[in-house]
Copies of this chain bind each other. A is one copy, B any other.
Amino acid sequence: MAKKKEAKALDTTTEEKIKSAARVAFHKKGYAATRTRDIAEEADINLALLNYYFRSKEKLFETIMFETLFSFMQNMAMVLNDEKSTLEKKVELVAEKYIDLIIKEPNVPIFMLSEIRNNAEGLLEKLPIKQLVMNSSFFKQHQDAVAKGKITEPNPLHFLMNLLSLVVFPFIAQPLLQGIGGMNNKQFNELMQDRKKLIPVWIKATMKAK
């Protein structure tokens, strides 16, 4: 299992092929509904190879899950800790960046939140997500704005929840919303594009609401 040749070209390693197939399958169907055989077939490798490289379905899952969470956290950190941008600008960045991101990976939010629900302590204690958010420039700027009377509701969690809610929830409820609105995928995505501009406007309006 040693690595002799360094990742040839663009990750066509066997290990990488398995991880890619596993990522797609887990993100789409979750841990329980995913069969290791499906992963192997999709990756075009023998089933035994999956266990040769990752020991077990669970270990493979942990690898994918960790990488997914880590990538999400990194994105979050990037925006929330950008020292140069104002709070308002950060709201715009979150809306724009995350809407683009989720359009590309529409299964990731519900996957993450479902699996965290199954194993919250285990997964979250490995990543310093609390410190990341609570010590962020974003939170400090929020406190400032509250102190200066620019924001009515003092609890920063409500502010973060509202932002994430408006950005993420429509994707989680996408099939339901498309059913209600009689929309196809393209129309839905157009609606989400609208929201890049709208959400910052709405969030600003809530800041002063009372």
Distance between A160 CB and nearest chain B CB, rounded to angstroms: 8
Q: Which of B33, B162, B177 contacts A157 (CB 8 A)?
A: B177
Q: Are B29 and A176 in contact (CB under 8 A)?
A: no
Could you say which residues of chain B place their CB within 8 Å of the CB of A179? 120, 124, 129-130
Q: Are A182 and B130 in contact (CB under 8 A)?
A: yes
Contact with B along A134-160 (1 / 0, CB 8 A): 100000000000000000010101101
- Chain A interface category by residue count: 35 or more
From A162, which residue of chain B is reached at the shortest CB distance? B166
Q: What's the number of copies of this chain in the assembled complex? A: 2
A101 contacts partner chain B, Cβ-Cβ < 8 Å: no
Q: Which of B116, B161, B162, B177 contacts A161 (CB 8 A)?
A: B177
Contacts A114-B114, A205-B205 known; 15 new A-B pairs at CB < 8 A: A29-B118, A30-B114, A107-B117, A110-B114, A112-B176, A116-B176, A129-B180, A153-B198, A161-B169, A161-B177, A165-B165, A168-B169, A202-B205, A205-B206, A206-B206
